[in-house]
Amino acid sequence: MQGYNCIMVFSTDSKQLLFCKRRKDPYKGLYNLVGGKIETGEEGMKAAYRELLEETGIGGNDIELAHMMDFNYYNQNCYVEVYAGTLKQDVELKEEANPLVWLAVTENFFDLTRFAGEGNIGHMLEQVLQYGMGEK
């Protein structure tokens, strides 16, 4: 199974969540969490930090990620590891392929006309708000 990750990056005050606006399919034109492919033999947490740095310029000194949950998609032969963390300090974002934007955590992340993931982003945020970020 091919592995992917998505990373929930909260602002220093935890009032905003970082998104990219997809320029290509899947989810072209929709807001999505940052993340990417886990390379063969790569450990999940290392892949999350690598993708975060590549896509945003946020490094390991800027944030501590927690492994929050996983999704297995047997019908697509892939899995997604979900990570979350709060920035330790403000950072200058460096876009790779998609524009980056901060959105308030009060947004309706279940709105499928604006957000990717068939409602998963809303579900993941609710999990963080109710139960915390997960295992560090």
List the structure tokens of 122: 């809303």
Quick count: other Cβ atoms within 10 Å of Cβ 33?
25
Q: Is residue 136 part of a domain?
A: no
DSSP sequence for 80-119 = EEEEEEEBSS------SSS-EEEEETTS-TT-TTTBSTTT
- pLDDT tens for 17-54 read 999 999 999 899 999 999 999 999 999 999 999 999 99
pTM over 0.85: yes
Identify the segments of the chain with pLDDT beneath 70: none
What's the number of domains the chain is made of? 1
What is the CATH classification number for the domain harbouring 111? 3.90.79.10
34/5 Cα distance (integer angstroms): 8
**Which domain does 32 fall in, by range?**
2-131
134/109 Cα distance (integer angstroms): 20
Q: Is residue 105 part of a domain?
A: yes
Q: What is the pLDDT of residue 125?
A: 95
